[in-house]
Structure 1
Amino acid sequence: MSTQQDWNALSDEEFRRIFRDWVEENCPKELRFMRKQRPLFDEVAVWYHNLARKGWLAPVWPQAYGGMGLNPSKHIIYVEEWARMGCPRIPDHGIGLVGPLLLQYGSEEQKQHFLPRIISGEHVWCQGYSEPNSGSDLASLKTSAVREGDEFVVNGQKIWTTLAHCANWVLLLVRTKRVEGKRQEGISVLLADLRTPGVTIRPIPNLREEADFCEVFFDNVRVPVANLVGEVDKGWTLAKSVLGHERIFLGAPARPEYALTRLEALAEATGAFEDKAFLSRYAKHRLDVYDLGSAFERFAKVLRAGGDLEADVSVLKIFNTELYQRITEEMLEIAGEDARFEDDLDAGEIQVDAMNLFLDSRAPAIFGGSNEIQRNILAKAVLNLPG
């Protein structure tokens, strides 16, 4: 039974306490701090449905559509406590991308049809944006959608589509008109059923031999015109809007903080703290984690005050992802020859998944806009350097 309450009327401290207490009782212990960063829907379905029954699955959706209606301040607390308590990531493209897109740009019929099915878990979504040779340069995408009567016929390929193999719907960016000049024109947003004839999904194993990503091929796939979001050829603004606050949450300090606790445990177990050289490096890592937390808080204050984030938020993702890599590299350094094992290493009362964290730290510097692209954004939009 969902709980209808004005969560924003509570103090931040009270909301944080209520959220932590509920999570402690309702998030299964065996799902906390999962080794797998991107579990499949079936693996975390019990947690997904617990959140849905409570009405806490969609933190920023209006309560009228099954969400919590949180303001930016409370949403940041939700994200912080979720990470600190080790809650598993759920397949969240429907919650974080499709829902906000439909709430802002969708028709009432689309909202009434799709939003309840996201909350129930009947529809599990993925995001069809990137293509071969159209990743960071997304406006160069080539997947086409040609209208025939009441349908669009879609042909093309998407790649790095996260968890497509356990999804049944895709938020699809397509080209509906060839244009000269500005490539952002002529792009549209479609909602496509992955069970439609002509769709082929091929998983792509990662370094840990897990299939987080997929290739998705579209061969004369028919999508109803009713599944067009917004206006035809005007989808670029919509596509960008769903990623508006992504960079601040990609810069949240949870991963480096967790990695640092594992580094500390491993150092205690191996006697590394007796080494002055290691102690010096460890002190720098700890100070960097503190600095990252301060930087995150600075941008979070802007959101809490109802402001919009500027281009300088890109520095947060760079700082976060590269710090995560440095800490996990330090783990392998002090683990020595044991670092080759993918199994957890004994570190006193806990186990340290050193190699797993090291491999996990490679991807965040690429997804969500690679760090090279983030540096270009800072150079052009903040430092006013020539392009």
Structure 2
Amino acid sequence: MTPMTIDRDALSDEEFRGQLRAFLAEYYPAELKQDFYRPFRRLRGEPANQWLRTLQQHGWRAPAWPREHGGMGLSFRKQLIYHEELEHAGVARIIDLGETQLGPTLIKLGSAAQCEHYLPRILNCEHVWCQGYSEPNAGSDLASLRTSAVLEGDEFVVNGQKIWTTHANDSTHIFTLVRTGKYAKKQQGISFLLIDLNTPGITIRPIINLAGEDEFCEVFFDNVRVPRDNLVGELDQGWTVAKALLGYERVWIGSPALAGKALDLGQHLVQQLGLESDRGVMDQLAQLQADLHDYRLLYSRICDAIADSGKPPGPEVSMLKVYASELLHRLTEFNVSISGEYGAVVGDVELAGPSAEVTATDLYWQLMMARPVTIFAGANEIQRDILAKTVLGLQA
């Protein structure tokens, strides 16, 4: 029996968890683990692709995809276990938009030819995808985008600019929203295109963020010719495609795992630096512990409701993204503040306190990497608008 013919969704939760835990212990490289002092470690480029290929070879790739399309076909509850075990094993995070966003979109709305061509190439990492949504004047307000695609015969001619395109410099392809028509309602006239980044007329410029990382990019399109067959869904109906693509994104983004790792480090720093007798520090730590405890219960309750109903998540999941990202802000700020002058050092710093152990970590990098979390995947202000209108029923 080959790995891809194994129906792991038929296993009990305990059997599934045990098999995945054993696989991760055997195959995930120890040198790539998130450790106590590198809680936000990510993989990108070839190290990320190598690990994804290992998952594919052993039948642990694409947990949410149907088995007939090469995925694992897991229920939502087993997907939760899957993510829990990756976090438990210290597997570094990978931004794999081909698997998590484009693949499910093609399965739901793409043509048979598009699924046949693109899905296997996503799974074997021949194609690595980035998302071309935001523009300089259309960030969270995507309906205002201006990148145009004019149909000429069997090709679209694309002109414009995208920004904050995560890992475009590591990607081979981009799925993007472009304006193909003008209507009274801004959400109309937008189409969803698949574009090979090696196409003539495309320029990618990395942007260095506050943490010194080049993971955000600008992407420029200058008379880029894209086959009409690369249109996903109907012409001018890309807004519908884009909304379908979000799916479970905010559930996984809202995971309490990163906040939990930041709190673990904070608690260690308190002990390491001998701050247990500082009432102010201990009061702040207690508040953060209580907030994370409450959030874990909220996250569990929402995930259980999704699993029990068998329906996609509703607008209430915006709560997860807002709370988790803002809690992460407060935790990384706490870690920097209690470390005194060490918190202002850029790069690894050794914190030598009363404990014999020396802690080497980059607190500044963690603080700066936490800053954009409230902005990407829909800024928190937009999430609050969603909650106000669709959950609370408030007037605009």
Residue of structure 2 equivalent to 1:378:
387
Deviation at 1:49, TM superposition (A): 1.4
- 1:345 and 2:335 correspond: no
User: Pairwise mapping of residues 1-387 of structure 1 onto structure 2 (< 5 A)?
Assistant: 2-33=3-34, 35=38, 37-180=41-184, 182-305=185-308, 306-341=310-345, 342-346=347-351, 348=357, 351-387=360-396
Identity across the alignment (%): 48
Distance 1:37 1:194 in 2: 27
Residues 126, 171 of structure 1: 8 Å contact kept: yes
Deviation at 1:13, TM superposition (A): 2.3
- One-letter code aligned to 1:69: G
Residues 145, 174 of structure 1: 8 Å contact kept: yes
- Once the two structures are superposed, residues 208-232 of structure 1 have per-residue CA deviations (whole angstroms, 9 ceiling, x without a partner) of 1111110000011001011111111
Deviates more, 1:45-54 or 1:144-153: 45-54
Residues 348, 360 of structure 2: 8 Å contact kept: no
User: SS state of the match for residue 234, structure 2?
Assistant: coil
Residues 172, 189 of structure 1: 8 Å contact kept: yes
Deviation at 1:246, TM superposition (A): 1.4
Distance 1:227 1:28 in 2: 37
Tell me, which stretches of 5 or more residues in structure 1 are unaligned?
none
User: SS state of the match for residue 93, structure 2?
Assistant: coil
Residues 140, 378 of structure 2: 8 Å contact kept: yes
Residues 247, 314 of structure 1: 8 Å contact kept: yes
Residues 103, 119 of structure 2: 8 Å contact kept: yes
Residues 41, 90 of structure 1: 8 Å contact kept: no
- One-letter code aligned to 2:270: A
User: SS state of the match for residue 215, structure 1?
Assistant: strand
Residues 143, 154 of structure 1: 8 Å contact kept: yes
Deviates more, 1:346-355 or 1:229-238: 346-355
Deviates more, 1:65-74 or 1:190-199: 65-74
**Structure-1-length-normalised TM-score:** 0.96
Distance 1:284 1:91 in 2: 31
- Once the two structures are superposed, residues 142-166 of structure 1 have per-residue CA deviations (whole angstroms, 9 ceiling, x without a partner) of 1111111111111111110000011
User: SS state of the match for residue 43, structure 2?
Assistant: coil
Residues 84, 254 of structure 1: 8 Å contact kept: no
- Once the two structures are superposed, residues 75-132 of structure 1 have per-residue CA deviations (whole angstroms, 9 ceiling, x without a partner) of 1111122123221223401101111011111111111111111111111100011111
Distance 1:336 1:20 in 2: 39
Deviation at 1:135, TM superposition (A): 1.1
Distance change in 2, residues 1:38/1:153 (3 Å) = farther
Deviation at 1:192, TM superposition (A): 0.5
Tell me, which stretches of 5 or more residues in structure 2 are unaligned?
none
Stretches (4+) displaced over 4 A: 34-38
- Once the two structures are superposed, residues 193-248 of structure 1 have per-residue CA deviations (whole angstroms, 9 ceiling, x without a partner) of 00000000000111111111100000110010111111111111111111122112
Distance 2:395 2:380 in 1: 18
User: SS state of the match for residue 229, structure 2?
Assistant: helix
- One-letter code aligned to 2:214: A
- One-letter code aligned to 1:325: H
The number of aligned residues is 386
Deviates more, 1:122-131 or 1:4-13: 4-13
Distance change in 2, residues 1:383/1:17 (3 Å) = same
- One-letter code aligned to 1:11: S
Residues 145, 179 of structure 2: 8 Å contact kept: yes
- One-letter code aligned to 2:226: V
Distance 2:284 2:203 in 1: 48
- One-letter code aligned to 1:381: T
Residues 124, 167 of structure 1: 8 Å contact kept: yes
User: SS state of the match for residue 79, structure 1?
Assistant: helix
User: SS state of the match for residue 361, structure 1?
Assistant: helix
Residues 302, 308 of structure 1: 8 Å contact kept: no
- Once the two structures are superposed, residues 313-368 of structure 1 have per-residue CA deviations (whole angstroms, 9 ceiling, x without a partner) of 21211111111111111111111011122214347375443222211211111111
